[in-house]
Structure 1
Amino acid sequence: MESRFFTTLFKTIKLTAGLAIISSISLGYSQAEESGSGIDLVGINMSGANFAPHITPGKVGTNYFYPEKKYFKYYAEKNIRLIRFPFIWERVQHDLHKGINFDQMRLLKRTLDYAAEHDQKIILDMHNYGRYKGKLIGSPEVPYKAYADVWRKLAEEFKGHPALLGYDIMNEPHSTNGLWPGAAQAAVDAIREVDMDALIFVEGDRWASTFHWRYVNEDFLIKDPADKIVYEGHLYLDKDFSGRYAADETVDPMLGIERVRPFVEWLKENNLKGFLGEYGVPAHSESMLVAMDNLLGFLNENCMPSAYWAGGPGWGEYVLAVEPIDGKDRPQMDVLQKHMSNNCTEYGPAGKH
């Protein structure tokens, strides 16, 4: 979600919380597939560990939250086994010239362990917008080597974990002055030094916007010796694409499809795999729920997985959240449930057309 949204969001969180190859890419087939209903395409962002990035390292349970086992249980009961898990680089590594933080590694491992207990897969998402302590990756303050080094260390820690699906190397890089492609390649190269099996999810510049993908990421092609890259875009339905949903809007039922189509077409033309890592709609908007329904139908037709924004602890009554309130499911959950079944056997979209 775009960073300009977070200032408002963290104020809300503080109030409400007391103060989310198959062929060449192996997914690890799920129970859903064994029952004949396809692979796991519908997922969620289990957010919380990424809260208050302006307060680092911050205090777990006050400024940010790691989910308890009950959150994994709820989504497992909904047959949702695909989880994107955001975390903050500055908490994992307090200083670029020092090692990674033991407490954060313990909490991340606990997260993976909880997921494994519930037959779920985790995408570890560094939620930093192409920056460390406000400085661009690739700048003199944050050289590519430092970024590569932290991902090498993370891969060493978590490679082979039964719940690990892959590494989302950076959430929504933006305004990177052309530095992002080099950073992305450095991270992929570092991960592959120690882990040739996990998927690597790579987001594009300009907040990973699917609608604007071809304007800024047309030639964004990363080399991977394991051939297990999944390109990731994000999509929101408000007028400024931000996900703030600052005003009530009635949208066209096909808006989600229109906004994701440029990304899907780029993937098809380049014979690449794709993932919609974030999208979300307000629970009270009937037109946006319809647009979300149509979007998920389109993604399933193209065998593209997605992760709804967002679930996890600390959201309170935040309008995009999919956590139940007083034991009652949110309207977005009904839409997610409609699209659990599919006839896909691998991530798409399929090849060149």
Structure 2
Amino acid sequence: MLNCFPAGVNIAGFDFGCTTDGSDNLSEVKPPLSALGGPDGAGQMSHFVTKDNLNIFRLPVGWQYLVNNVLGGTLDATNSGKYDQLVQACLNTGASCIVDIHNYARWNGAIIGQGGPTNAQFANLWTQLAAKYKSQSKIIFGVMNEPHDLDVPTWATTVQAAVTAIRQAGATSQMILLPGTGYTSAGTFVSSGSAAALAAVKNLDGSTTNLIFDVHKYLDSDNSGTHSECVTNNIDGAFAPLATWLRSEGRQALNTETGGGNVASCESYLCQQIAYLNANSDVYLGYIGWSAGSFDSTYVLTETPNGSQDTALVSACIAR
């Protein structure tokens, strides 16, 4: 499906209001669409494709937003229609587009399948999204953003429910991204047990075709992505060990969140990290920077272009 090493940028805004406990304040949502009064996310994606040769965008959105706060409910026509405007703008660029549920494996503080929403309620969401986008070969399904602090084998059962729902809804060949615990950190993907548990997730036919591990890695001092300076290229501590495991299992991963400040340390370390991912493209399918969309120049990790001008980090490392 991806005929060129994927590289791109997150286009945030529909996830604004989501917090790490899975709550979502819908009043804080800021659609990155000029038609909805926000920034020109469509123009940003067009810029990234034409100027920077990028070919994949991740489009985070809150679960609550899509169903207008009705757990287990149908997609809200108004809200899901607004989000679809961003999805269609992405597809119109010819890039691959990740539908990313940005809820940290939770709904309002309670873990999916572990005392919170049932696996069936989560699967119902994915049934609807997969049915909506099953005919779009460039759509990628991002099961969940950054699960954390949960029972990993139980979480793998939840992920399996989502995968089964997506495939049964008719999205039989699109890529699905499988996230682990620990905020799906590449550095702990194996040691946390996520790798082994998620390796057992299968398609309807028992294969693992297009079931790709979803990993994140920041380069600041605590891997939080909240500091402007970078201190590591993550090669020895994360991506090289994970590459060894991926090769041993014949599997692949996609780094869907990474980035740093627009400073010299991040330009150095992120370029090194990306060079490693490029050199190991048998197991790493690509990288997606965090973030553009509704972020402006006040955000420490901004990758939002200023007109036709890229940020320093995008220009140095992410563009190609």
> Which of residues 178, 197, 210 in structure 2 aligns to 1:202?
178
Give the drift of 1:315.
2.8
TM-aligned CA distance change 1:96 to 1:287, over 3 Å? same
Whole-angstrom distance in 1 between the partners of 2:179 and 2:125: 18
Tell me the residue number matched to 1:136. Answer: 111
- Residue identity in the other structure for 2:56: L
Is 1:176 aligned with 2:145? Answer: no
Give the drift of 1:213.
1.3
Segments of structure 2 that go 5 or more residues without pairing to the other structure are 34-39
Instruction: Write out the 4+ residue segments of structure 1 that deviate beyond 4 Å after TM superposition.
Output: 54-57
Tell me the residue number matched to 1:283. Answer: 262
Identity %: 22
Give the drift of 1:162.
5.2
Tell me the residue number matched to 2:45. Answer: 72
Aligned pairs for 1:36-51 within 5 A: 39-51=4-16
Whole-angstrom distance in 1 between the partners of 2:110 and 2:116: 7
CA contact (8 A) 1:233 1:263 kept: no
Tell me the residue number matched to 1:126. Answer: 101
- Residue identity in the other structure for 1:92: L
Question: C-alpha deviations, 1:169-204, integer Å up to 9, x for none?
Answer: 001100113331111111001111021021101111
Q: Aligned pair count?
A: 297
Give the drift of 1:327.
4.8
> Which of residues 256, 268, 293 in structure 2 aligns to 1:312?
293
- Residue identity in the other structure for 1:279: T
Tell me the residue number matched to 1:58. Answer: 26
Q: Secondary structure at the match of 1:198?
A: coil
Question: C-alpha deviations, 1:21-68, integer Å up to 9, x for none?
Answer: xxxxx33x3xxxxxxxxx142111111110112674624xx6322333
Q: Secondary structure at the match of 1:214?
A: coil
> Which of residues 279, 284, 306 in structure 2 aligns to 1:325?
306
- Residue identity in the other structure for 1:324: P
Q: Secondary structure at the match of 1:293?
A: helix
CA contact (8 A) 1:209 1:235 kept: yes
Tell me the residue number matched to 2:36. Answer: none
Tell me the residue number matched to 2:60. Answer: 86
Using structure 2 for the length normalisation, give the TM-score: 0.86
Give the drift of 1:314.
3.1
By relative contact order (CA 8 Å, sep 6+), the higher-ranking structure is 1
Using structure 1 for the length normalisation, give the TM-score: 0.78
- Residue identity in the other structure for 1:85: L
Question: C-alpha deviations, 1:200-232, integer Å up to 9, x for none?
Answer: 011111111111111112412111236210101
Q: Secondary structure at the match of 2:196?
A: coil
Report the more deviating stretch, 295-304 or 176-185: 176-185
Whole-angstrom distance in 2 between the partners of 1:306 and 1:205: 19
Q: Secondary structure at the match of 1:215?
A: coil
TM-aligned CA distance change 1:132 to 1:328, over 3 Å? same
Question: C-alpha deviations, 1:246-297, integer Å up to 9, x for none?
Answer: 7x56x35x4445332222222111100110111111112x222111111111
Give the drift of 1:236.
1.0
Q: Secondary structure at the match of 2:26?
A: coil
Aligned pairs for 1:124-273 within 5 A: 124-161=99-136, 163-164=138-139, 166-178=140-152, 179-194=154-169, 195-216=171-192, 217-220=194-197, 221=199, 222-224=201-203, 225=205, 227-245=209-227, 248=229, 251-252=231-232, 254-256=233-235, 258-273=237-252
- Residue identity in the other structure for 2:215: G
Q: CA RMSD in A?
A: 2.1
CA contact (8 A) 1:65 1:314 kept: no
